[in-house]
Amino acid sequence: MEQTSIEKKRELIAKLNQWRYEYFILNAPTVSDAVYDRHYDELERLEQQTGILMSNSPTNTVGYEEVDGLEKTTHTIPLLSLDKTKNMGDLMRFIGSQQVLLMHKLDGLTVKLEYENGLLVRASTRGNGEEGEVITHNARAIDGIPAWIPYLERLVVVGEAYITKPTFERLQGTLRDSSGNSYKNARNMAAGSIRCYDAGACAGRGLVFTPFGVLEGLDEDADTAISKHLRLNTLKLLGFSACEFLLLIPNPTEQQVTNSIAELQASAEDMGLPIDGIVVTYDNIPFSLAQGRTGHHYKDGMAYKFEDDLYETTLRDIEWTPSRFGELSPVAIFDPVEIDGCEITRASLHNLTFITELELMPGCHILISKRNMIIPHIEENLSRGRFNAVDVFPAQCPCCESPTSIKEGKGDKGKVTRVLCCNNPGCANQILRKFVHFVGKKAMDIEGLSEATLKTFIDMGWLNDFTDIYRLGEYSFEITSLEGFGVKSWQRLQDAIQRSRKTTFERYLVAMDIPMIGRTASRELSRYFDSSLDDFEAAVIGGFDFTVLEGFGATLHNNIHAWFKEENNLKLWKELQKMINIEKKDAPATSEAIGNPFAGCTIVATGKLVHFTRSSINAKIEALGATAGNAVTKDTNYLICGEKAGSKLDKARSLGVTVLSEQEFLEMAEGA
Ligand SMILES: [Zn+2]
């Protein structure tokens, strides 16, 4: 059973099948009968000698079978897919100090072959991993599947059935799938062909089977019992053409792994093999089994992918949602595709330019990926040529029905992109998005004002501009009578609103939502204007050139000036400041110093206080940015008066100094 005789045999089968095709189908034989017979006899002799008959051998007397449908079969050992990565670091961590095999990740359909007493008894597809379809009748039509082998124990082999790149190119124009469309790629063609009911139809499609693993059998020998690569080598002796692999030394360097991947990529290219990555798997079988599995994957292997996988589906609808600046954001709704165990039905379409370039319309067949395995993305449209912008871009805002317009903007890398806009500032969804932004974590950070709650309050007419949030108390009764809104949740929400009154320059500016002024720009403005909203406002009014600031270009400069020119914006800017206190973020020691009424004042305390000792009240006064005085003079601004106050109270009264109870002082200090 030399491997050379097995290779010789496959060569003969290929030649003889070609000659038979020329003779029977084309009626144009290229060799004489004598040549044909000589090759045929040699093949038969080799088959006897090796004890291996390939299913597709012309000596195989079984004809091409046809079935009525594909029977289901349960995989007793589930055929799970491998975990994937595009990241070398992940791969190196997976390898660790183990000895691993690197092999081609063939891009076709996974097939399982079962042998008993040396005979192929069943071939089945992977299906969903738990249950597949029986395709035994097509084994006759696939290259690389032995019909009988010189091994009598039960043997279960898994591998990939695929179509090589040259074969795909040759057949692409002529073959049609069941819906009459031509096949988009070699994988689809392989999947469609292998499920043919008629083996005769399957036979002409150049399907090849290459095993990548053994699920049962080959464990009677001590070496093959524990080593995957030795099992693959044994398969070659049984007539299979096992998947090409490289065995790495334990603890390989990243360079060694990278080189091996490049070597396998090159060999796949040479052989015209369709691969979409490299499989990395532990060689040691007991170690592999000990790794166990997750819901979807065995943990003994990992697929290193060159690109994100593509999944075909049908685009059903495009949803347009107004953003807070009036841009209508398009989202694709498509038939569900399962990617890595998650069902995906939506992906952003970004803007009109993206839609136009891909010619996307409802009904199109599209290819979806999860970019970097995270974000769903439409990669390609398979049914181009029918695009019509008028049918796709709505003329009216789906939210408020005002006419839409197209605006040009700059997208990634300065590329001009076109966006669809609703120009109605009263568009309900725009208003809702603005409130969502205002209460968001990076802005005023009001917990409990969810999108749904905001929508309810807006619909009730309680929220018209941001200052209304701080007046919601007027509707306490109505709010607590809303369904799902008890006294407790209202109290929690009120607490959150009160807490938000104490904020920073940065948050306040983010909340104002000047276009493109986000956290980074706000931080820079806060630094430059020393967290003073007044100084910032004065600078705007004075025509300040913001491009002198780090990271500020003409766009940001213009956005700020344009925003303040709007009367409503300026009004909001001023009104809202009356309701909040700005604290200086970068000076925690005097964090209470800014935005409280005591900053810069001189304060004296007298009498017995409830919450403070003499020294702790002075510390509190200093913390507020005020000076703690000992005696009441004409420079004293406030006297905090506890029980049993003495002469200081009289003095304060005579000088007209404001006298505060301890409670009043605390309330003012908290900004409540
Ligand atoms: Zn609108």
pLDDT in tens, 188-244: 889 888 888 888 888 888 899 999 999 999 988 888 889 999 999 999 999 998 888
Q: How confident is the model at residue 5 (pLDDT cuts 50, 70, 90)?
A: confident
587 versus 596: the higher-pLDDT residue is 596
C-alpha distances in Å from residue 124, one per residue of 72, 188, 392, 544, 640: 9, 17, 44, 74, 88
What is d(CA 53, CA 38) in angstroms, rounded to the nearest whole number?
18
Q: How confident is the model at residue 412 (pLDDT cuts 50, 70, 90)?
A: low
- State the distance from the centre of ligand 1 to the C-alpha of 423, rounded, in angstroms: 7
Mean pLDDT of the chain: 88
What is d(CA 330, CA 332) in angstroms, rounded to the nearest whole number?
7
User: Looking at the predicted structure, is the pLDDT value of residue 466 above 70?
Assistant: yes
Tell me where in the chain the CATH 3.30.470.30 domain(s) lie. 72-83+96-303
pLDDT in tens, 645-662: 778 888 888 787 888 888
DSSP state of 155: E
C-alpha distances in Å from residue 380, one per residue of 309, 329, 363, 496: 12, 20, 14, 46
Q: What is the dihedral of CA 382, 388, 392, 396, to 10 degrees?
A: 170
**Single-letter amino acid code for the residue at 52:** I
- State the distance from the centre of ligand 1 to the C-alpha of 327, rounded, in angstroms: 9
CATH of domain 428-500: 1.10.150.20
User: Looking at the predicted structure, is the pLDDT value of residue 433 above 80?
Assistant: yes
Buried b or exposed e, range 269-293, using 16+ CB within 10 angstroms = eeeebbbbbbbbbbbbbeebeeeee
What is d(CA 302, CA 286) in angstroms, rounded to the nearest whole number?
17
Active-site annotation, residues: 105
Q: How confident is the model at residue 672 (pLDDT cuts 50, 70, 90)?
A: very low
3-state helix, strand and coil shares in percent for the chain, rounded to the nearest 5: 40, 25, 35
- State the distance from the centre of ligand 1 to the C-alpha of 279, rounded, in angstroms: 50
Q: How confident is the model at residue 585 (pLDDT cuts 50, 70, 90)?
A: low
User: Which CATH superfamily hosts domain 590-670?
Assistant: BRCT domain (3.40.50.10190)
- State the distance from the centre of ligand 1 to the C-alpha of 405, rounded, in angstroms: 11
Contact 285, 226 (CB under 8 A): yes
pLDDT in tens, 561-580: 999 999 989 999 999 999 99
Distance of CA 545 to the CA centre of its chain: 40
User: Residue range 99-119: average pLDDT?
Assistant: 95
User: Looking at the predicted structure, is the pLDDT value of residue 1 above 60?
Assistant: no
Tell me where in the chain the CATH 2.40.50.140 domain(s) lie. 311-422
- State the distance from the centre of ligand 1 to the C-alpha of 441, rounded, in angstroms: 26
User: Residue range 103-114: average pLDDT?
Assistant: 94
User: Residue range 458-484: average pLDDT?
Assistant: 91
User: In terms of Cα–Cα distance, which of 75, 91, 80 is closest to 279?
Assistant: 91
- State the distance from the centre of ligand 1 to the C-alpha of 422, rounded, in angstroms: 5
Neighbours of 551 (CB within 10 A): 10
628 versus 38: the higher-pLDDT residue is 38
User: In terms of Cα–Cα distance, which of 89, 86, 16 is closest to 58?
Assistant: 16
Q: What is the pLDDT of residue 626?
A: 81
Q: Give the CATH number of domain 72-83+96-303; options: 3.30.470.30, 3.30.70.260, 3.30.70.20, 3.60.40.10.
A: 3.30.470.30
3 state DSSP class of 208: strand
User: Which CATH superfamily hosts domain 311-422?
Assistant: Nucleic acid-binding proteins (2.40.50.140)
- State the distance from the centre of ligand 1 to the C-alpha of 354, rounded, in angstroms: 22
Contact 369, 377 (CB under 8 A): yes
- State the distance from the centre of ligand 1 to the C-alpha of 414, rounded, in angstroms: 27
Q: How confident is the model at residue 325 (pLDDT cuts 50, 70, 90)?
A: confident
Would you say domain 3-50 falls under CATH 1.10.287.610? yes
- State the distance from the centre of ligand 1 to the C-alpha of 573, rounded, in angstroms: 25
Tell me where in the chain the CATH 1.10.150.20 domain(s) lie. 428-500, 504-586
- State the distance from the centre of ligand 1 to the C-alpha of 512, rounded, in angstroms: 21
User: Residue range 548-567: average pLDDT?
Assistant: 91
DSSP state of 184: S
> Is pTM beyond 0.75 here?
no
- Cross-sheet strand order for the sheet of 275-282: 81-85, 297-305, 275-282, 100-106, 245-247
Tell me where in the chain the CATH 3.40.50.10190 domain(s) lie. 590-670
- State the distance from the centre of ligand 1 to the C-alpha of 404, rounded, in angstroms: 8
User: Residue range 308-335: average pLDDT?
Assistant: 91
Q: Which two tokens stand for residue 470?
A: 């701080």
User: Looking at the predicted structure, is the pLDDT value of residue 588 above 60?
Assistant: no
User: Looking at the predicted structure, is the pLDDT value of residue 469 above 70?
Assistant: yes
> Positive or negative, the Cα torsion across 191, 196, 199, 205?
negative
What is d(CA 365, CA 358) in angstroms, rounded to the nearest whole number?
11
Overall fold of domain 504-586 = DNA polymerase; domain 1 (1.10.150)
Count Cα atoms within 13 angstroms, Cβ side, for 400. 19
3 state DSSP class of 324: coil
Residues comprising the chain, all counted: 672
